[in-house]
Structure 1
Amino acid sequence: MTLRERQKQQTRRDLLEHAKALFVERGYAAVTIDDIVSAVGCSRATFYLHFTGKPEVLQKIGAETMAQRAVAVYAELDEVLDSGSRAEFTRWMRRAVAWFEENQAILPAWDEAVALEPEFRAIAKRAVDELPAAMPRYLQRWGPQRRAEAHLRIELLVSQLERFFTRWAVQGTITSTADEAAEVLSDIWFPALRPPR
């Protein structure tokens, strides 16, 4: 790799790192491309050599910090559901809440971008659509004729987890421990993810 290529990669990493810090500090809408390039010390032209705009920057931040782990969390759920153990499911639920805790700082910016940027809605939808694909045994148990329902159940699980986490950790409007929440969420979701006989 040439020095120029290394510098280009470093500039890209710097843009992502500073954009993430700004999104966490100020929120998605309040941050401009000028803010990002100013923090890095480069030009707008340099920014556009790497990214098409703010939505792509946030998408790359999400892909690097969240998306791969999210798919791994749901691949793990596939194994847990295959075991048939409610206790394992509750432990999975606690790990899922922990995943949200790890990504807590960037999640409000992600939600804001989904609300503000039509193109980002498609990115967010793709991220959720990929989760059932990480769960082949789960989908197989529902069968091809009920695959859409199986997908919907995972989407609803993700939505409830996201909403719970926002109200619990971000807004502080739900008061419970993570373990209490994991137990109640398991009561709801362990039977809901098992196909009716």
Structure 2
Amino acid sequence: MTRKLLLDAGLDLFVSKGYAPTTVDDIASAAGTTRVTFYAYFPSKVDLMKALISERLNAALDRLPSGEHGSTAWELVAVVEDGSRERIRAWLAAISERWDVIRPYTTTAFEAAAVDPDIRALLDEWLNEAISDVKEGLDRAGRFPAATRHFRSVIAITELDHVARNWKPGTWGVERDQMLDVLTESWLGSIGRH
């Protein structure tokens, strides 16, 4: 229970105050505990941030442990392998329903990565896991020249990540259905079947 309170307090403070200015004492106090108790659960603020990404963010995105590349979202692999407009649009629509839940984690992770090399490495690894899922789907489908599959996967995940962190209704002049239509078209062009 204390660990959960520390994770909750850390995320809340990272979102409201920012990652860099938030101290271990701030987190412990907000969780109703002490610095000593914080260190019993996390060796550092970095380790708390790592737990937010590897545990909570992965759970929110249905990413499961994978021996091949850290974590995998099997549904994403299957959607990319299928490559149809319908499957891509349906998956993007479903994942966009989670953006309000995942946005605090991803936004905080990017902010933390700017000031902490350990978080930067973890975030890069996490994004590379998602990129590997897309590439695995392309490999299974045998779609596009093999030499371009990784790059296509980078484009798709980078685009999705940016939209997921920044889009809200009315942002960029598009509502949800329009945003999903355009994102689907983009994914079809870069990783879908034509």
**TM-score of the alignment, normalized to the shorter chain, above 0.5:** yes
- Deviations 1:25-64 (Å, cap 9, x if unpaired)? 2221231111011122333232222212222111211223
- State which of 54, 64, 83 in structure 1 corresponds to 2:55: 64
Letter in 1 for 2:182: V
Letter in 2 for 1:157: A
Q: 1:182 offset after TM fit, Å?
A: 1.0
Q: 1:74 offset after TM fit, Å?
A: 4.2
8 A Cα contact 1:55 1:119, kept in partner: yes
> Could you say which structure has the higher helix fraction?
1
Query: RMSD between aligned alpha carbons?
Result: 2.8
Please, what TM-score do these two structures have when normalized by structure 2?
A: 0.80
> Gaps spanning 5+ residues in structure 1: where?
1-9
Q: How does 1:41-80 map to 2 (within 5 A)?
A: 41-70=32-61, 71=63, 74-80=73-79
Please tell me whether Structure 1 or Structure 2 has the larger radius of gyration of its CA atoms: 1
Q: Which residue of 2 aligns with 1:12?
A: 3
Q: Which residue of 2 aligns with 1:189?
A: 187
Q: Which residue of 2 aligns with 1:27?
A: 18
Percentage of identical aligned residues: 26
8 A Cα contact 2:96 2:164, kept in partner: yes
Q: Which residue of 1 aligns with 2:119?
A: 120
The number of residue pairs the alignment matches comes to 184
Q: How does 1:48-197 map to 2 (within 5 A)?
A: 48-70=39-61, 71=63, 74-134=73-133, 136-142=136-142, 146=146, 149-169=148-168, 173-194=171-192
Q: 1:127 offset after TM fit, Å?
A: 0.8
Please, what TM-score do these two structures have when normalized by structure 1?
A: 0.78
Q: 1:164 offset after TM fit, Å?
A: 2.2
